[in-house]
Amino acid sequence: MRNSTGNWSYGLRAAVFNLALVFGLALAFGLTLSGGAAEARAKTVLALGDSLTHGYGLDEKDIFPVQLQKALAAAGVEAQVINAGVSGDTSAGGLARLDWALGDPASPPDLVIVELGANDALRALDPRATEANLDQILTGLKQRGIRALLAGMKAPPNLGADYVASFDAIYPRLAEKHGVPFYPFFLDGVAAQPSLNQADGMHPNGAGVAIIVERITPLVVEALK
């Protein structure tokens, strides 16, 4: 009788132990899965810019946000790139619509690419005003806990050496001040190349955008980490 009772007790304890072990493993595995799912969650990139971001004169497949999203996918990064470019926009315009572009505060983007200033230079606006606007944009993103990548711009040389020096210095100074990833010249490798620009000589064609995307993608991937 004692043996049967002892065997029953031992069997019960073993069953309870096995059940606890299975439950623990399932829980741990479930946590691992949920953690992996969180890590694999698609990123959201907001491209805040002017016509260079918006895609002036281009088919949808050729615009910067679409080409960047494909390049990120090819690099193993699942991301949605939102087109928040407005043709003709200045740094002041980008600042004015920042809250609207960011959307729901409960689901902010993982990264904002700030590409503004080209129209400021084309209109020969005061570089100090451009810097102040971009500074406020970067400050606003930092206050919201949103990472930013700053894309630089260069002033046309026909505006004179003094203006060019003042304007071009805005971007590296702001990148250092805010500690954000910095792509020095958004049109690097494309500006002044007729084969890579539309007839106006200012807006990249599809091939030009592909060059921009190829060069900026590694920095975007790193910023998303």
User: 30 pLDDT band (50/70/90 cuts)?
Assistant: very low
Reported residue count of the chain is 225
Q: Is residue 188 flagged as an active site residue?
A: no
- Residue 47 CA, chain-centre distance (Å), reads 6
Full-model pTM: 0.82
Give the per-residue pLDDT at 41: 78
Residue spans of beta strands (DSSP E) within the chain: 43-49, 79-85, 111-115, 147-151, 182-183
The candidate with the shortest Cα–Cα distance to 218, out of 99, 22, 72, is 72
Round to whole Å and give the CA distance between 53 and 120.
15
Q: Among residues 4, 34, 51, 62, which one is catalytic?
A: 51
Query: Is residue 176 a contact partner of residue 134, using CB atoms and an 8 Å limit?
Result: no
Mean pLDDT score, 116-130? 98
Does the domain formed by 42-224 have CATH 3.50.30.10?
no
Residue with tokens 């209109």: 123
Would you state the pLDDT for residue 40? 61
Nearest to 93 by CA among 114, 63, 66, 124: 114
Q: What 3-state class would DSSP assign to 211? A: helix
| Confidence check: pLDDT of 89 > 80 | yes
Taking all residues of the chain, what is their mean pLDDT, rounded to a whole number? 88
Q: Which of 122, 198, 112, 111 is nearest to 163 (CA)?
A: 122
State the catalytic residue, choosing from 91, 120, 168, 203: 203
Domain-by-domain residue ranges, the chain?
1-40, 42-224
Active site residue 200: yes
Query: Residue 121 and residue 84: Cα distance in Å, rounded?
Result: 20
For the cut 50, the answer to whether the pLDDT of residue 111 exceeds it is: yes
pLDDT (tens digit per residue) in 35-83: 444 446 799 999 999 999 999 999 999 999 999 999 999 999 999 999 9
Find the mean pLDDT for residues 170-193: 98
CA–CA gap between residue 209 and residue 192 (Å, rounded): 14
